[in-house]
A and B are shown apart, each in its own frame.
Chain A
Amino acid sequence: MRNLKGNFVSALLLLFAIAICFLSALKFLSMQKKEAIFPSRGLTSRKMLSSYFPELKKTWGDTDVYLYEGQEKGGNLLILGGAHANEPAGFMSAVLLIENIQVSTGKIIIVPRANNSGFTHSQPQEGNPQRYSLESPWGRRHFRHGSRLTNPVHQWPDPSIYINPAGQKLSGADSRNLNRCYPGKKTGSLTEKIASGIMELIKKEKIDLALDLHEAAPEYPVINAIVFHENSADLAALALMELQIEGFEFRLEASPLNLRGLSHREWGDHAQIMAILLESANASHGRLKGKTSPALIVEGKDKNYTKAAKLGRLFVPYDEDGIPLKLRVARHLAAVKSILSNLEELYPEKRIEIKNMPSSSELKKVGIGPFLNPPN
Chain B
Amino acid sequence: MQIVYHLIVFYLTCHLIWCLFREKKFWNQVSVALVLIMFLLRLFLIK
Contacts and interface: CB of A to CB of B under 8 A. Distances in A.
A161 interface: no
A54 B42 CA distance: 28
B33 A16 contact: yes
Contacts of A16: 33
Contact of A10 (B2, B20, B41): B20
Nearest to B46: A25
Contacts, number: 55
B5 to A, nearest CB: 5
Contact of A121 (B1, B20, B37, B47): B47
Category for how many chain B residues contact A? 20 to 34
Interface residues of A, number: 21
B2 A7 contact: no
A14 interface: yes
A7 B37 CA distance: 19
Most buried by B among A13, A16, A17, A29: A17
B47 A153 contact: yes
Most buried by B among A6, A18, A28: A6
Given A24-B41, A153-B47, A157-B1, A6 B24 contact: yes
Contacts of A14: 17, 20, 33, 36
Nearest to B29: A13
8 tightest A-B contacts by CB?
A: A13-B33, A10-B21, A17-B33, A25-B46, A153-B45, A21-B40, A17-B36, A28-B47
A121 B45 CA distance: 12
Contacts of A220: none
Contacts of A6: 21, 24
B2 A18 contact: no
A16 B46 CA distance: 18
Contacts of A153: 42, 45-47
B5 A157 contact: yes
